[in-house]
Structure 1
Amino acid sequence: MTTYVLVPGFWLGGWAWRDVAADLRGRGHDVHCPSLTGTGERAHLAGPDTDLETHITDVLNLIHYEDLRDVVLVGHSYAGAVVIPSVADRVPERVARLVFIDSGPLPDGMSHAEFTSPEERAANAEAVRTAGHGRELPPPPWRQLADGSADLSDEALDRLERLSTPQPWATATTPVRLTDAWEKVPRLHVLCSFTIETVRTMADAVPAFKHMRGDDWDHRDLPGWHWPMLDKPAELATILHEVSA
């Protein structure tokens, strides 16, 4: 049995991992799917001070109070970029492996918002100002994003639209603070919306991808949508199960 902690990215709660978690549990694993503060069933707890440190604490507390050890810590998108490396940096003795879902770790001192292009950053800031009460980033137009990119049923899209929540904006603007402790933890990257060749090219050219240089990490290809837990849950669960071996 392997212990997994599956951490969702922007706008999603633990509910997004439902099918992946069920598959892994059916294989005999222990699976935890926390909803970070301000998302999912904890949406009512969102506030202007809900930031990256809040989300790091969410996961640290889960590991501490559930007394989890040898954890395979899985982070999708934002959670992969800043949350799970921060957790592993603070309790590396509890983490057996990091798995980044269509994501990679940002360097110390960089915020998730800084990772986006200036145009996207400006558009997001405007959305926060006009539609997010100055403190939340509204969910994107899911059907538009999924059109031609994802093999999702209408029921799955309805669920995505119904359950996604605004993202507390301070989680995106808080710089990540890291030592090198997390770098000693083995890591796997599941690549969905880009290829390994693209990653290598970006790593050589963009400082934000400095941790993707070299050969001290492994990868698996799962071509498709940026949200594989929703459109390819069985395939993603199989990859995660293989980590346990």
Structure 2
Amino acid sequence: MTTYVLIPGFWLGGWAWRPVTDALRAQGHDVYPLSLTGMGERAHLAGPEVDLEVHVTDVLNLLRYEDMTDVVLVGHSYAGAVVITAAADRMPERVAKLVFVDTGPLPDGVSQSEFDEPDEQAATAELVKEHGDGWRLPPPPWEQLAAGVDLDGDVVKTLVELSTPQPWATATTPVSLTGAWEKLPRVGVLCGFTEEQARGMAAAPMFRHMAGDQWRFEELPTWHWPMFTRPAELAEILDRAGTR
């Protein structure tokens, strides 16, 4: 039996992991799908003050108050890029492995927003200003993103109904890392690229943590949100991550 903490990326809450959670629990694992502050059922706590540090503290408090050890921390997108690494960096003694779902760890001092090209950063900042009261990023047009994707219409409807604006300070706060997390083994779930491409990215300073013997990669060709398109296969990958 393995203990998993599942953390979604932008706009989503713990509800996004439901099919994956059910599949892992059916295998006898303990699973904690986490809604970060201001997201999912905790949307009422959103505000301009909610930044990356708040989200990292969400994870740390879960580990502490549930007295978890040997945890597999799973982060999708933003949660993998900065949240799980920062949490593991502060409590490495409680974490057994890190799983990055269609993402990779950003280095110390880099924010999630810096992952985008400058023109895209400017466009997003304008969107936050004009349509997010200056502090939140509205959810994307899910119907457009899902066009051409093998995705049940009810899932798209759920995404539209349950996704919430992302507090923008979570994206602009630089991640603070000491390097303690780097000792931990890692699994990369690759949805939009191959293992060869992932390892090649390590040549760029932004992606230097994609290299090393700590990594094992699993290719899952699908949409950026595999918990909706291929939840059973994603659960199988996570099951292997917990037993290998």
TM-score range, shorter chain: over 0.9
Corresponding residue of 2:205: 207
CA apart distance, 1:177: 0.4
Q: How many residues align?
A: 243
Corresponding residue of 1:216: 214
Q: Name the aligned partner's letter for residue 28 of structure 1.
A: G
Matches of 2:41 and 2:217, distance apart in 1: 32
> Once the two structures are superposed, what CA deviation does each residue of 1:40-62 show, in whole Å capped at 9, x if it has no partner?
00001011110000000001001
CA apart distance, 1:199: 1.8
Q: Name the aligned partner's letter for residue 186 of structure 1.
A: P
> Once the two structures are superposed, what CA deviation does each residue of 1:123-151 show, in whole Å capped at 9, x if it has no partner?
11011000000000001111111112x32
CA apart distance, 1:215: 3.3
Matches of 1:123 and 1:195, distance apart in 2: 29
Structure 1: where are the runs of 5+ without partners?
none
> Once the two structures are superposed, what CA deviation does each residue of 1:134-181 show, in whole Å capped at 9, x if it has no partner?
000001111111112x32100000001110000000000000000110
> Once the two structures are superposed, what CA deviation does each residue of 1:13-38 show, in whole Å capped at 9, x if it has no partner?
00000000000000100000110001
Please say if 1:239 is aligned against 2:240.
Answer: no
Structure 1 stretches of 4+ moved >4 Å:
none
Corresponding residue of 1:102: 102
SS in structure 2 of the partner of residue 31 of structure 1 = strand
Question: What TM-score do the two structures reach when normalised by structure 1?
Answer: 0.97
CA RMSD across the alignment: 0.9
Q: Percent of aligned pairs with the same residue?
A: 66
Structure 2: where are the runs of 5+ without partners?
none
Matches of 2:201 and 2:183, distance apart in 1: 23
Corresponding residue of 1:15: 15
CA apart distance, 1:213: 2.2
Is the 2:184–2:214 contact (alpha carbons within 8 Å) kept by the matching residues of 1?
Answer: no
Question: What TM-score do the two structures reach when normalised by structure 2?
Answer: 0.98
Matches of 2:207 and 2:198, distance apart in 1: 8
